[in-house]
Amino acid sequence: MPYDPSAFPPFAVTVDLVVLTVRRDALCALAVRRGEPPFQGRWALPGGFVRPDEDLAQAAARELVEETGLCAHDPDAPAQDNGAHLEQLATYGDPKRDPRMRVVSVAHLALAPDLPAPRAGGDANSARWAPVEELLQRGGYGRDGEQAAPLAFDHAQILADGVERARSKIEYSSLATAFCPTEFTVGELRRVYEAVWGVALDPRNFHRKVTGTPGFLVPTGGTTTRQGGRPAQLFRAGGATLLNPPMLRPEV
């Protein structure tokens, strides 16, 4: 690819991923431990350089597969397969965000159902799901009492932006179903909302809302009792992607 370095300043372009899931009723993000400077040993968001011949979305999907094995699907397609939802989040390009060189990072947001375990080159110690509060709070204590250092680079900001995007987007879209397996119950979907928003929702009103919105949920006919209690109907995500009127997030 010919270019004249004097005509424009060269940048490195990367994609960083905010991969969110809900596990044990908590909103968790995927973090990887940096093996090299800068920020060696610190936790960071997964990501990497965009290759010369790939689109930004392709690069994000490739990184997602490499880190989680998840297959991303088109954001405009319904979430039928087991793939994760993937969308562009925002781009971060502060001149000093990477001490080595000028790096512009196109952050992407991925929403995935609960997965067995992260895989990062087979090294179980170098990737983990961590509750977002734990990753965002400064100076707190992480798992195993380990001192939780802030995320590397500006990744705390990127994660915060991704979490905020997810929190607001499940209000008016069916995106919360991306956190659920293919078949799920109304209660499981409600627990997703409760975990992402950090609030308690009335089960009866929630049930009325989601089952009363045409095209949002499609009953599969089956039932399950995996949550204990009375068996619940199983649903799949319907074709509707927009929720109108939106789900209302309660005031704090």
Residues in contact with a second copy by CB under 8 A are 1-3, 5, 8-13, 49-56, 88, 90-95, 100-102, 104, 106
Q: In this complex, which beta carbon is closest to DNA, that of residue 207 or of residue 236?
A: 207
What sign has the CA pseudo-torsion 218, 223, 225, 226? Answer: negative
Q: What is the CA radius of gyration of the chain?
A: 19
**Among a second copy, DNA, none, residue 53 binds (CB under 5-8 Å by kind):** a second copy
Q: How far is the CB of 172 from DNA (least distance, A)?
A: 11
Binding stretches for DNA (CB under 7 A): 185-188, 190, 202-205, 207-209, 211-212, 225, 227-233, 245, 247-248, 250
Q: In this complex, which beta carbon is closest to a second copy, that of residue 51 or of residue 208?
A: 51
**Among a second copy, DNA, none, residue 128 binds (CB under 5-8 Å by kind):** none
Q: In this complex, which beta carbon is closest to DNA, that of residue 173 or of residue 185?
A: 185
**Among a second copy, DNA, none, residue 231 binds (CB under 5-8 Å by kind):** DNA
Helices 186-197 and 203-212: crossing angle in degrees, nearest 10, is 110
**Among a second copy, DNA, none, residue 106 binds (CB under 5-8 Å by kind):** a second copy
Q: How far is the CB of 190 from DNA (least distance, A)?
A: 7
Q: What is the dihedral of CA 71, 76, 81, 83, to 10 degrees?
A: 20
**Among DNA, a second copy, none, residue 126 binds (CB under 5-8 Å by kind):** none
**Among DNA, a second copy, none, residue 250 binds (CB under 5-8 Å by kind):** DNA
H/E stretch holding 150 reads: none
What length does the chain have? 252
Non-local CB neighbours of 35 within 8 Å, separated by 6+ positions: 126
- Token pair for 220: 């599969």
Closest to 82 in 3D by CA, of 219, 162, 179: 179
For residues 89 and 75, is the Cβ–Cβ distance under 8 A? no
**Among a second copy, DNA, none, residue 55 binds (CB under 5-8 Å by kind):** a second copy
Give the integer Cα–Cα distance in Å for 216 and 13: 37
Q: In this complex, which beta carbon is closest to a second copy, that of residue 62 or of residue 102?
A: 102
Q: How far is the CB of 250 from DNA (least distance, A)?
A: 6
Cis peptide before 46 (omega within 30 of 0): no
Residue with tokens 């925002």: 90
Q: In this complex, which beta carbon is closest to a second copy, that of residue 93 or of residue 203?
A: 93
Q: How far is the CB of 180 from a second copy (least distance, A)?
A: 25
Q: In this complex, which beta carbon is closest to a second copy, that of residue 10 or of residue 122?
A: 10
Closest to 105 in 3D by CA, of 66, 162, 150, 40: 162
